Amino acid sequence: MRKPKKVIALFPEAAFGPALNSVGIGQALEKLGHKVVFLSDPGFLDVYKGYGFEAHPVNLSEPLPPEEMAKFWVDFVNGHIPNFRKTPYDQIDNYVKGCWEMIVETARWAQKDLPGVLNAIKPDVVCVDNVILFPAIKHYARDNDKPWVRIISCSENEIEDPDIPPHLSGCSEKDREGFARYRDRFNEVIAPIHDNFNAFLKNVGEAEYPIGQFFEAS
């Protein structure tokens, strides 16, 4: 059997959109002769294994039985149904805030498993599809002189640009006043969450981000 050209690790967000997008990328990479390995929230391991990929668990939250985890997400979504009827601006201090609180916790949890998993797999490239930095990926890439790649499967404006509407804002492309109003309110609401994330980054030896930023381009 021919030796694979590269070992490529794919680490998508634990949601079907990013997961299946990465499956498609993985299938294309395999056709090019590379070995593809998935890093995954335990609840999505069988998705990747079902497509024939090797997959390694990385806990992104406190481990719970599948039925309890499913109930948590059902309750979370159902609890926010009234908020989904609000404008994007008026969702910032409820739904958006709640999501970012949980997203920051996924980065903290991943830091427990991810360094060991990466050192065991020894990928040549790490590709991550998410909206938050997992410091272990940058550390592995830096320590081993390997690249890491950010995939954006959801919305291109996850990377901030002053000339386009902010992510989740619902603003029209020329509504500059709306851009500023949304960004100001978002930064105000998530400031304590962002401070918490920056404290975590500093604790693991990573540079802090400016307010409003939780990740970066590759």
Q: What is the pLDDT of residues 88-110, one digit of tens each?
A: 999 999 999 999 999 999 999 99
Q: Decide if 57 is inside a domain.
A: yes
Q: Decide if 60 is inside a domain.
A: yes
Where does the pLDDT of residue 53 fall: very low under 50, low under 70, confident under 90, or very high at 90 and above? very high
pLDDT for the residue numbered 1: 55
Instruction: Judge whether residue 156 has pLDDT over 60.
Output: yes
Task: Round the average pLDDT of the chain to a whole number and report it.
Answer: 95
Q: Decide if 99 is inside a domain.
A: yes
Residue range of the domain that includes 165: 7-203
Q: Decide if 2 is inside a domain.
A: no
Report how many domains make up the chain: 1
Token readout for 139 is: 């550390």
Instruction: Judge whether residue 48 has pLDDT over 60.
Output: yes
For the entire predicted model, the pTM comes to 0.92
Q: Decide if 150 is inside a domain.
A: yes
pLDDT for the residue numbered 69: 79
Q: Decide if 216 is inside a domain.
A: no
Higher pLDDT, 25 or 75: 25
Q: Decide if 210 is inside a domain.
A: no
What is the CATH classification number for the domain harbouring 19? Answer: 3.40.50
Q: Decide if 209 is inside a domain.
A: no
Higher pLDDT, 65 or 182: 182
